């Protein structure tokens, strides 16, 4: 699917497909050539990060790490910074945010069906989960045989931040980047107005916006079970798993949106809050950030 660029009212709208979803760029400049250059810059950076860190690619650093069979591997500086951030998230969340827990997808398929894995199936995977089992001292990383890492909980947010930074440095800061709901503003509209972002209400099938967020700069990230869930006997299972139990977090909100300085931080806080289950809102209040929450 090729990227597109169209003029809409008083700005340009660029679109492309990456990271398993539709990506949208709003560009408040006059010249089409400049808008096209900005779109190309964002698309190239997002796809670079996707290619480098996707678990579905067989020739990238993630594949190399996940197929070392217990041997140590040296990583580049960018990957090292992401591993440091993942370690920080693990420590700040008391082990609830764990990039080794992605291996649980072998038994959990969040496709909207009612297939729930058995406790034995979960137990057979849990011994491969646990960041504390990994040896990480930059630039060397060593996993136990069978363990994997997955940057899925960080990837889109990191890509949005990187793209916004590049665009701001090289072209213009009057740009809003939306990677499937993970949003970063390089700056406000040309006249100083904020970008207005509609947040979808997960409890309404008609995709009604529950609220608008006005963003001059910074970022918005949303976590929830709108598109990835299981439903059995009237119980909805969120795709965010407790790495200690291997089960979805109990009594979690349907959706949490956080506004923060960076998309990476917004995504971290929204995910952290869901990991707190019924204590999600108390956690968010303690962080002194703007948020929206739906149960």
Q: Is residue 191 part of a domain?
A: no
Q: Is residue 90 part of a domain?
A: yes
User: Does residue 159 or residue 240 have the better pLDDT?
Assistant: 159
Query: pLDDT per residue over 49-80, tens digit each?
Result: 999 999 999 899 999 999 999 999 999 999 99
Q: Is residue 21 part of a domain?
A: no
Torsion of CA 50, 55, 60, 65, to 10 degrees: 140
CB 160 within 8 A of CB 219: yes
Q: Is residue 99 part of a domain?
A: yes
pLDDT at 210: 53
Degrees, nearest 5: CA angle 191-192-197: 110
Residue 88 and residue 60: Cα distance in Å, rounded? 24
Which CATH number is 123's domain given?
1.10.3980.10
The residue range of the domain holding 91 is: 61-109+117-150
Quick check: helix, strand or coil at residue 202? coil
Q: Is residue 139 part of a domain?
A: yes
Q: How many angstroms separate the Cα of 189 from the Cα of each of 185, 192, 219, 275?
A: 10, 5, 15, 35
% residues pLDDT > 70 (the chain): 96
Query: pLDDT per residue over 89-132, tens digit each?
Result: 999 999 999 999 999 999 999 888 888 999 999 999 999 999 99
Query: pLDDT per residue over 139-153, tens digit each?
Result: 999 999 999 999 988
Query: pLDDT per residue over 193-222, tens digit each?
Result: 999 998 877 766 655 555 589 999 999 999
Q: Is residue 278 part of a domain?
A: no
Q: Is residue 141 part of a domain?
A: yes
pLDDT at 114: 86
Q: Is residue 168 part of a domain?
A: no
Total domain count, the chain = 1
What is the CA 258 to chain-centroid distance, rounded?
Answer: 12
């Amino acid at each position: 699917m090729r990227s597109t660029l169209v003029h809409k009212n008083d700005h340009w709208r660029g679109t492309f497909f990456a990271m398993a979803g539709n990506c949208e760029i709003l560009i408040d400049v006059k010249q089409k050539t400049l808008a096209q250059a900005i779109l190309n810059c964002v698309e190239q950076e997002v796809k670079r990060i996707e290619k480098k860190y996707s678990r579905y690619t067989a020739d990238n650093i993630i594949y190399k790490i996940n197929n070392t069979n217990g041997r140590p591997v040296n990583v580049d500086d960018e990957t090292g910074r992401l591993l440091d951030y993942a370690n920080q998230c693990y420590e700040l969340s008391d082990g609830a945010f764990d990039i080794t827990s992605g291996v649980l997808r072998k038994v959990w398929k969040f496709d909207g069906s009612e297939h729930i894995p058995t406790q034995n199936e979960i137990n057979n995977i849990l011994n491969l989960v646990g960041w504390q089992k990994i040896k990480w001292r930059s630039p060397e990383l060593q996993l136990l045989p069978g363990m994997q890492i997955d940057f899925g909980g960080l990837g889109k947010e990191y890509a949005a931040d990187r793209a916004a930074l590049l665009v701001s440095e090289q072209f213009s800061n009057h740009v809003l980047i939306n990677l499937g709901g993970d949003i970063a503003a390089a700056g406000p509209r040309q006249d100083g107005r904020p970008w207005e972002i509609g947040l979808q209400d997960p409890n309404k099938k008609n995709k009604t916006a529950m609220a608008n967020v006005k963003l001059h700069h910074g970022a918005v990230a949303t976590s929830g079970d709108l598109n990835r869930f299981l439903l059995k006997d009237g119980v909805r299972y969120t795709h965010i798993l407790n790495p200690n139990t291997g089960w979805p977090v109990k009594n979690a909100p349907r959706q949490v949106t956080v506004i923060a300085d960076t998309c990476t931080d917004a995504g971290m806080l929204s995910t952290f809050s869901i990991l707190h289950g019924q204590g999600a809102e108390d956690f968010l209040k303690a962080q002194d950030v703007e948020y929206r929450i739906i149960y």
